[in-house]
Structure 1
């Protein structure tokens, strides 16, 4: 049950509802669908009540790479039906938004603020950042060992040069990581990321 808040003058405020916390499995399942990412992206940007009709037209424009006013009624209805019958009820049940079917409105909930949407995914030939940093650390360790053992040709360079190389490498990597992280977050750019998330069912590993 939600906890009641007592004011300094002794009055009891209206009970506050419990705040739903998403599990990681629920989060990945929501993010696995592009249209649901579109919805969360728009809610994070607007932080206000949305109309399902306008949202449907906006998503159709994103999907077909059209201007908002160029979307046909057929495409708008296609997205509208999918949102109304599938995606919005699912997200409402998860607690990230409130969907009023009668009024056709969508509102963000506090649970949406807890969604840390960092999509560190493999794009084509790109390596995951965890593997990249592991490789950079291994390279730094090799350079350190060769310097300590005074092996050629590394022994010809002062140890400070290798130290500067390692520091600069990690600094540049951190800046690049920050750039890609912001680019892959929902609610940041003008349009939502087009990266497809792969939902990982960890139940097989438990």
Structure 2
């Protein structure tokens, strides 16, 4: 479903949080379905620059909860992703692909992220 054009201010708002920038970047780069677990691991990898096994489980749980309840539903509401809550699977849409130039510019400006953000 391709809806009306997303305003640039909305794109900026989506990119205010670094975790959401990481999710958007990895989905745009991978161009395939990813699980919430994949996305959580990617956020942890970019935030800590340490092996996943060394990161406290409580932090991983907090990130997974925020993805499940806030970040992914917000992206789904704008039709940037399709979200299967039961399988916890997130799939980028063509609408996300249309935003890739703006997202790329914003992500490139983030000194904490090195594009491409990958799994």
Q: Does the alignment reach a TM-score above 0.5?
A: yes
**1:100 & 1:71 partners in 2: Cα distance?**
27
> How far has the Cα of 1:56 moved from its partner?
0.7
Say which of 70, 90, 94 aligns to 1:106. Answer: 90
Spell out the pairing of 1:4-23 with structure 2 (5 A cutoff).
17=1, 19-20=2-3, 21-23=5-7
Q: What secondary structure, in the 3-state scheme, does the structure 2 residue paired with 1:81 have?
A: helix
CA RMSD for the aligned pairs?
Answer: 2.4
Where relative contact order (Cα < 8 A, 6+ residues apart) is larger, the structure is: 2
Q: Deviations over 1:150-176 (max 9, x none)?
A: xxxxxxxxxxxxxxxxxxxxxxxxxxx
Aligned length: 112
**2:116 & 2:9 partners in 1: Cα distance?**
27
TM-score of the two chains, using structure 1 as the length reference: 0.49
In structure 2, stretches of 5+ residues that fail to align are none
Q: What secondary structure, in the 3-state scheme, does the structure 2 residue paired with 1:66 have?
A: coil
Say which of 29, 38, 42 aligns to 2:13. Answer: 29
| Large movers: runs of 4+ above 6 Å | none
TM-score of the two chains, using structure 2 as the length reference: 0.80
